A and B are shown apart, each in its own frame.
Chain A
Amino acid sequence: MNVWRLSENETCLAVESFLNDPPRDLQPFDPLILAFCEAFSNRIFQDPKACKLPELAALAFWLRKSHLNELQNQSQSRSASGIVLVPRGVVFHIPPANVDPMFVYSWIISLLMGNASIIRLPSNQSPVFKSIFELLSLLLSQPEFKAINAAACFVEYDHSTQITALISSRVDVRMIWGGDETVRLIRSIPLRCDAKELVFVDRYSYAVINAEAWLREPPSKQAQIASRFFADICSFRQSACSSVKMLVWVGAEQDVAEASQEFYMAFMGEVQRRGFQLELSDIIQKRNFVYDLALSIPVVKVDEFGNELTVVHIPLEQAGHREHCGRGMLLHVSVREFEHFFPYVQRKDQTLVQYGFSDEQLRSFVRALNGKGILRIVKPGEALLFGPYWDGYYLMEELSLCIPLR
């Protein structure tokens, strides 16, 4: 595995030569790439320590063969009409600090299209990151994956515009995952004139639940739905851009009151079943935030369901509020029709987890919003599942050159 520590004063010859003569041996969805992903997936599932970490289990699930075949079919069906996709070249990844496994997703999605990658590693490396990294380096050292290893260059460096500029001037694509500030900072550093940039900025996500549909479900199904929401709300201490931070309840007032109460109880049931607990410092900081919020904007009521869930009911006029502490806090908004919430949809809104709406309704929501906000709509449990459609991009094509044949 190629990991290089870069400094401003020295040129790293390995990185230089990587940029001078980038590997071009891999085809989109190359059998070797698929074999590598499958091996990576198996490695995680077989590792007794790693498969217990939910972030790694999700990664292993994402990397499994059937899922990648799906991505391949999707990509091929889109470009069936005489278009051939080829790799763009070298992709420079700047992953986020809050979602540790993101560097792998960013890299693999580029790799799937046959690209070579320079991946900047995060400076504070969490246990999740370390276990991914360990497994990865073992795998990349195997002789059969030599070509994959040759096409991946992992770099570490202290914040340096100079190094970022040097790499940026030589690559074909730059992918920046960060908050608005990071993206703004890095975007000010020029790319080669024909390179392209994919940016992933601060986002906000929420769920919409049809109260009537919930009330129609038998208790066992309700428990199942609530348990799916656990991942959407609790992963990464609710700090990811796709973490569900607000619930928009749709229905008659009485239905919403009843359904939401049942939902929160069922959700807490799942929290307890899993033995999920927040650190005391998180609990305290959440409490500080909630008290501050409740005294700063009009709030209808605050429901504390134990340390792991605080629900703050806000009036619809406050539904545009986007500051959030994470750590198990949900804003609760109630509307008769989801359309009533549309005025509060913002450009930074990313994932909508929906429950109880028909395809037709969802399509009409998207049409009505017409690009105002909301960049993906998913089922409960899928908020944090990374996919090729992200923040409005179709990454398979963004990371390819599209060559038409006539």
Chain B
Amino acid sequence: MIASAKELLNARPYCFSQKDKGLLLLDALQFLTEQHRSKCLLYDQLLSLFYPDFTKAAALAEIPHFPVSLFKTHEWLSIPREEIFKLLMSSGTTSSIPSKIYLDRETAALQTQALAKIMMSFLGHQRLPMLLVEQENFLKDPKRFSARAAGVLGMLSFGRDPLYALDANLELKHQAVLDWAEKYKHTPVLIFGFTFMLWKFFLKKMEKFPDFLNQAIVIHTGGWKKLLDESVDNEQFKRKFRDVLGIERVHNFYGMAEQVGSVFMECEKGLLHCPNFAEIIIRDPQTWQEAPTGVPGVLQTLSILPGSYPGHSLLTEDLGRVEGIDSCPCGRNGKAFQVIGRIPKVELRGCSDTFSPGDAE
């Protein structure tokens, strides 16, 4: 790993000002771009076609990026096959075709290390008793990982004495949870789960148990799409935790299976933050140039972690907005932003759908 990347990874995760961080990131990402280009034929082909004049990026926004959907249609490998250590599969939210992400030992280790940096800066250094709002038998085949399982497994290492709060039918194990809570009523605990799981299978079932664990820190991720029909947003989600359970510390994080480890945590002020080793760029969908602070656009995510596959700069299908740079009252440096939704999927009606396939009787 080159010096700039090391420096970004080793420092406290939000310590660098945007200017200092930008220079280090540019160096690290330029290096990754060259590495992947020389090791991944497909990536080289992509750059030749879509960035024919590219040699060196003079700014972060010039680092080539490509649509994250390509992880569904192509295999991206910058390592020999025998070095594959883990295959991450993400079902994605908009289609049933999974993304495939190939990790070698080094990239997997970097992901763990990076996630730990971020989580510890929020949770402190001791491992907290952990309540997982998941089913017990959730982590099955460790060879073919779902990104969701990887997320849970990744979080497991930040807690101790984990309790899975749901049974095989996704029912809340009331008694077990209450017993566990009783045991830790004087300690801070960690509650982790996917946003919609927490809302549907936990929060709604806990209304009978106020003051349950008001010392708890809740960390959740996964997006709001599955909660659209209930029109739950982050504000409401947090309010409900406060009102029902007296829990004040609720942190969402944004991240993608294609860049595990470099997640964007929500701070006490409700904004998402880029750690040193990751960055976001908001692009104006008319010009595709970087949009100024406060102007919404399409989210691009950059991360120095992906070494085994060229996923260090990806254009997502999410919309976001930069809220400030080095200026969040929470004290974290770098860009603070919000995700403001997904680009709606409008299917093109081909000639073929007088009847949709499901209608064939």
By a beta-carbon cutoff of 8 Å, the part of chain A in contact with chain B is 94-99, 122, 124, 159-161, 176-182, 185, 201-203, 237, 239-241, 279-285, 287-288, 291-292, 294-296, 299, 301-302, 307, 325-327
Q: Is B120 engaged at the interface, CB distance under 8 Å to the other chain?
A: no
Q: In whole angstroms, how far apart are the Cα atoms of A283 and B297 in the complex? A: 13
Q: In whole angstroms, how far apart are the Cα atoms of A124 and B343 in the complex? A: 22
Q: Is B353 engaged at the interface, CB distance under 8 Å to the other chain?
A: yes
Contacts of A240 in B (CB 8 A): 351
Contact (Cβ within 8 A) B350 A291: no
Contact (Cβ within 8 A) B46 A291: yes
What per-residue 1/0 map shows which CB atoms of B160-192 lie under 8 Å from chain A?
Answer: 000000000000000000000000000000000
Nearest 7 interchain pairs by C-beta: A179-B352, A159-B359, A178-B354, A98-B349, A182-B354, A288-B69, A281-B346
Q: Kindly report which residue of chain A lies nearest to residue B286, judged by CB atoms.
A: A307
Q: A159-B355, A182-B352, A283-B285 are in contact. Are A292 and B70 (CB under 8 A)?
A: yes
Q: In whole angstroms, how far apart are the Cα atoms of A140 and B348 in the complex? A: 32
Q: A182-B355, A281-B344, A283-B285 are in contact. Are A299 and B349 (CB under 8 A)?
A: no
Contact (Cβ within 8 A) A292 B74: yes
Q: In whole angstroms, how far apart are the Cα atoms of A287 and B317 in the complex? A: 11
Q: In whole angstroms, how far apart are the Cα atoms of A110 and B238 in the complex? A: 62
B310-353 residues with Cβ-Cβ distance < 8 A to A are 315, 317, 343-346, 348-353
14 A–B contacts from the bound complex (CB under 8 Å): A94-B354, A96-B351, A97-B351, A99-B351, A177-B351, A178-B355, A181-B355, A182-B354, A284-B67, A284-B298, A284-B343, A288-B70, A301-B49, A301-B52
Q: In whole angstroms, how far apart are the Cα atoms of A181 and B354 in the complex? A: 9
Q: How far is the CB of B34 from chain A (nearest CB, A)?
A: 20
Q: A176-B354, A295-B46, A299-B49 are in contact. List 12 more A-B contacts (CB 8 A).
A: A94-B354, A98-B351, A124-B349, A180-B352, A182-B355, A239-B350, A282-B346, A284-B67, A291-B66, A292-B70, A292-B73, A307-B285
Q: How far is the CB of A346 from chain B (nearest CB, A)?
A: 16
Q: How far is the CB of A234 from chain B (nearest CB, A)?
A: 13
Contact (Cβ within 8 A) A288 B52: no
Q: How far is the CB of A92 from chain B (nearest CB, A)?
A: 13
Q: In whole angstroms, how far apart are the Cα atoms of A23 and B29 in the complex? A: 74
Q: Is B42 engaged at the interface, CB distance under 8 Å to the other chain?
A: yes
Q: How far is the CB of B270 from chain A (nearest CB, A)?
A: 26
Contacts of B50 in A (CB 8 A): 291, 294, 302
Q: In whole angstroms, how far apart are the Cα atoms of A177 and B355 in the complex? A: 11
Q: Is B82 engaged at the interface, CB distance under 8 Å to the other chain?
A: no
Q: Is B124 engaged at the interface, CB distance under 8 Å to the other chain?
A: no
Contact (Cβ within 8 A) A295 B74: yes
Q: Is B141 engaged at the interface, CB distance under 8 Å to the other chain?
A: no
Contact (Cβ within 8 A) B343 A98: no
B99-157 residues with Cβ-Cβ distance < 8 A to A are none
Q: Is B293 engaged at the interface, CB distance under 8 Å to the other chain?
A: no
Q: In whole angstroms, how far apart are the Cα atoms of A202 and B352 in the complex? A: 7
CB within 8 A of B350: which of A94, A98, A159? Answer: A98
CB within 8 A of A294: which of B49, B298, B354? Answer: B49
Which residue among A161, A237, A292 has the maximum number of chain B CB atoms within 10 Å of its CB? A292
Contacts of A201 in B (CB 8 A): 351
Q: A302-B49, A302-B50, A326-B348 are in contact. Are A177 and B354 (CB under 8 A)?
A: yes
Q: Kindly report which residue of chain B lies nearest to residue A300, judged by CB atoms.
A: B49
Q: Is B10 engaged at the interface, CB distance under 8 Å to the other chain?
A: no
Q: A95-B354, A178-B354, A239-B350 are in contact. Are A295 and B67 (CB under 8 A)?
A: no
Q: Is B357 engaged at the interface, CB distance under 8 Å to the other chain?
A: yes
Q: Is B360 engaged at the interface, CB distance under 8 Å to the other chain?
A: yes
Q: In whole angstroms, how far apart are the Cα atoms of A237 and B74 in the complex? A: 27
Q: Kindly report which residue of chain A lies nearest to residue B317, judged by CB atoms.
A: A284
What per-residue 1/0 map shows which CB atoms of B47-68 lie under 8 Å from chain A?
Answer: 0011010000000000000110
Q: In whole angstroms, how far apart are the Cα atoms of A204 and B251 in the complex? A: 51
Contacts of B67 in A (CB 8 A): 284, 287-288, 291
Contact (Cβ within 8 A) A325 B348: yes
Contacts of B346 in A (CB 8 A): 279, 281-282, 285
Which residue among B45, B70, B346 has the maximum number of chain A CB atoms within 10 Å of its CB? B346
Q: In whole angstroms, how far apart are the Cα atoms of A294 and B47 in the complex? A: 11
Q: In whole angstroms, how far apart are the Cα atoms of A387 and B350 in the complex? A: 21
Q: Is B235 engaged at the interface, CB distance under 8 Å to the other chain?
A: no
Q: In whole angstroms, how far apart are the Cα atoms of A178 and B67 in the complex? A: 32
Contact (Cβ within 8 A) A280 B285: yes
Q: Kindly report which residue of chain A lies nearest to residue B45, judged by CB atoms.
A: A295
Contact (Cβ within 8 A) B361 A159: yes
Q: In whole angstroms, how far apart are the Cα atoms of A201 and B352 in the complex? A: 8
Contacts of B52 in A (CB 8 A): 301
Q: How far is the CB of B73 from chain A (nearest CB, A)?
A: 5
Q: How far is the CB of B297 from chain A (nearest CB, A)?
A: 10
Contacts of B69 in A (CB 8 A): 288, 291-292
Q: How far is the CB of B235 from chain A (nearest CB, A)?
A: 25
Q: In whole angstroms, how far apart are the Cα atoms of A159 and B346 in the complex? A: 22
Contacts of B348 in A (CB 8 A): 98, 237, 239, 282, 285, 325-327
